[in-house]
Structure 1
Amino acid sequence: MNETLVLLPPAVEPGRLVRSAGEGRHALSGASMGTHWSLDLSGDADPQALEALIEAELGAVIREMSQWEPESEISRFNRAEAGSWRELSLGFFHVLRAGLAMARATGGAFDPTLGAVVDLWGFGPVAVKHFPPLPEELEQARAQSGWEKIELDEVNRRACQPGGLQLDFSGIAKGHALDRVARALEQAGYRSFLFELGGELIARGLKPDAFPWWVELELPPGAELAPIRVGLLDLAIATSGDYRRYVDMDGRRMAHSIDPRSGAPLVDAPAAVTVLHSECMIADALATAIMVLGREAGMALAERAQVAAIVTERDGQGWQRTLSSYARMMAES
């Protein structure tokens, strides 16, 4: 049996190595954002208040960033007239600005403006008429997309709708939601918890036994690789993969992720990309970008960003796993 690979951050601020006051331990779960969430929290707390806090934060993200809600902030922006400036909520502006910065840093491998293209492939809230989409429809959708078309007004927290552009935050909003819940829990005085939403995780503080929150990474089905166990100390984990949501076309696996360079779903992409970062929003977006770029260019991005990244691939005869230098440093710490 393969020996478990253990990853620990090489350094953590001493002030973050804390445990919550009290002897309580709370395990809660629920459903939101089209998926499930769970919380493992140490310390004295009112479970009903915890659940209300989490649902409030996740509900705010839905109202701001869900394309499935016709009156959400993102849906209203997508319907706005060409040339109109829209004042944005703090959370929406934060995610849009981060998404555009990620697009710039990745050369467009991450692009939050592909909503029209995503809809044509049936991955959004709009029912598709043709699959695959007609070439002329795809060409028009791509012409309406592009992160360079968005203009931000930082001072007044506004963005301009250039006309027909459809924002899609599916590669970043879930990570933002985890950050948002973690921040709300900390502001409420909780210092030790592990929160999970749709397979992404964020942790704060230490468990009652003074150990980190241990998480074992999910392996793609059939992957005969050593398990990876991560000690989460003020870290978040996000994973993009092709084994949960995909379609088979002409014998090739197409992931439910769009390559902005082609306007088509990823074909024969890595089976999984996992990124660790202090912000789950950044880990979420980077995992998507590395999936799009592939192992070689994706690892170059991980090195530039100085993050722990793990790429798992099918190599035709078996499985291959590649760790960024920071991930290898965590394994050696």
Structure 2
Amino acid sequence: MRRVLLPHDISDDRAPAGGVIRDYAGRSMGTSWSVRLVAAPDQAAEHVPDGLQQQLDLIVAEMSHWEAESDLGRFNRATPGSWQALPPAFFDVLSYAMGVARDSGGAYDPCAGSLVNLWGFGPYGRFDQPDFMPPSADEITVARAQLAARPVILQRDGRRALQPGGVQLDLSAVAKGYSVDRLSYYLKTQGFAHHLVEVGGELRGSGVKPDGQPWWVMLEQVSGAEIDELVLALHGLSVATSGDYRRYFELHGQRYSHTIDPRSGMPIANDLASVTVVHAQCMAADAWSTALTVLGHRDGLDLAELQGLAARFVVRQADGSFTEHLSTHLRKLLEE
């Protein structure tokens, strides 16, 4: 059965008369991006693909932990005890991410890059290298103790951040979502209010298509899960999904997820197959889908209710089947 999720607020703004859909695509942040926009028949759009790529390149230059000379890379190498001025967008994204860290009780933490690196999911010492070995218990203990003892401090006046020493920022669980929001904002400044943006599977829709229909997308399905399809009208909404099936490695018969629980320093090993969050901001959907995945479906669902999040949890059962759990706020979007 197919179920439909609809936003509560529907804009009266119509697509341009005689509008046509234009499609653009490219690569950034180790993944692909795509944009569909509605343009008036005589509306120039030749500059759009280069403009979109430039926006993404700026995000990489500021927030990539893969680029050694990014602003984030320089922060990670900064002298202990030094205050670092951050670009406005970098500061705002980090501030939001640290807020999610606080509200999730540390289930998500943008300062836990050292743990991500230890498990081979960072830019060096990769799990797919022949000499890779999982970290020892002592290495994890040291990294966790350092994370707890040396917090990053943000100072909004001047947009500065304190590097306490050894902290490795990793914004990979929020940067893709932010990039979706950034591309959407750019398109609006260029006069293209009706569009669908996707970066690495995270999406945001604005306005409608030329026929007046919203941007319909199907929520990501877990392979083998016999669960009813959910179709979402992305009209002023974003959606992001986190799942243990996306990135992982197996060693000596054991499977290690790329999602690390900063509280334990270990890859998650709960019963969640995926978490999808629907939100007005893709950055928020991205960060919260990760935090809820770490928490597991029971604690995650409790926090989703507390935070007012529209979330879908797909839970893997012992017999190999799957069950679905929806937060109250997602149920409110649902129409049979």
TM-score tier, shorter chain, comes to over 0.9
Matched to 1:7, the amino acid is L
Kept in 1: contact 2:10–2:235 (CA 8 A): no
Corresponding residue to 1:32 among 28, 49, 53: 28
For structure 1, the residue ranges without an aligned partner over 5 or more in a row are none
Please give the alpha-carbon distance, in whole angstroms, between the structure 2 residues aligned to 1:136 and 1:111.
21
In the TM superposition, residue 20 of structure 1 has moved relative to its aligned partner by 3.9
Deviation at 1:146, TM superposition (A): 4.3
Alignment of 1:21-100 (within 5 A): 22-44=18-40, 45-100=43-98
TM-score of the aligned structures, taking structure 1 as reference length: 0.94
TM-score (normalised: structure 2): 0.93
1:260 Cα offset (Å): 1.0
- The answer as to 2:231 corresponding to 1:229 is yes
Distance 1:134 1:253, change over 3 A: closer
Task: Give aligned pairs, total.
Answer: 329
Check conservation: 2:205, 2:236, Cα contact below 8 A: yes
Segments of 5+ residues of structure 2 without an aligned counterpart are: none
- C-alpha RMSD over aligned residues: 1.7
1:159 counterpart SS class: strand
- Alignment-mate amino acid for residue 165 of structure 1: V
Give the 3 Å change call, closer, same or farther, for CA 211–251 of structure 1 in structure 2.
same
Match of 1:328 among 324, 327, 331: 331
Structure 1 segment 1-333 matched on structure 2, within 5 A = 3-9=1-7, 11-12=8-9, 14=11, 17-20=13-16, 22-44=18-40, 45-127=43-125, 130-146=132-148, 149-249=151-251, 251-317=253-319, 318-332=321-335
**Which 10-residue stretch deviates more, 37-46 or 258-267?**
37-46
Q: For the Cα contact (< 8 Å) 1:252–1:267, is it kept in 2?
A: no
Percent identity of paired positions between Structure 1 and Structure 2? 43
1:145–1:166 contact (8 Å) kept in structure 2: no
Shift in CA distance, 284/145, structure 1 to aligned 2, threshold 3 Å:
same
Q: Secondary structure at the match of 2:268?
A: strand
1:233 CA drift (Å): 1.0
User: Hey, what's the Cα distance between the residues in 2 that align with 1:229 and 1:25?
Assistant: 21
Letter in 2 for 1:50: V
Q: Supply the AA of the counterpart residue of 2:327.
A: S
Give the Å deviation of 1:320.
0.4
Give 1:14 shift: 3.5
Letter in 2 for 1:72: S
CA contact (8 A) 1:252 1:268 kept: no
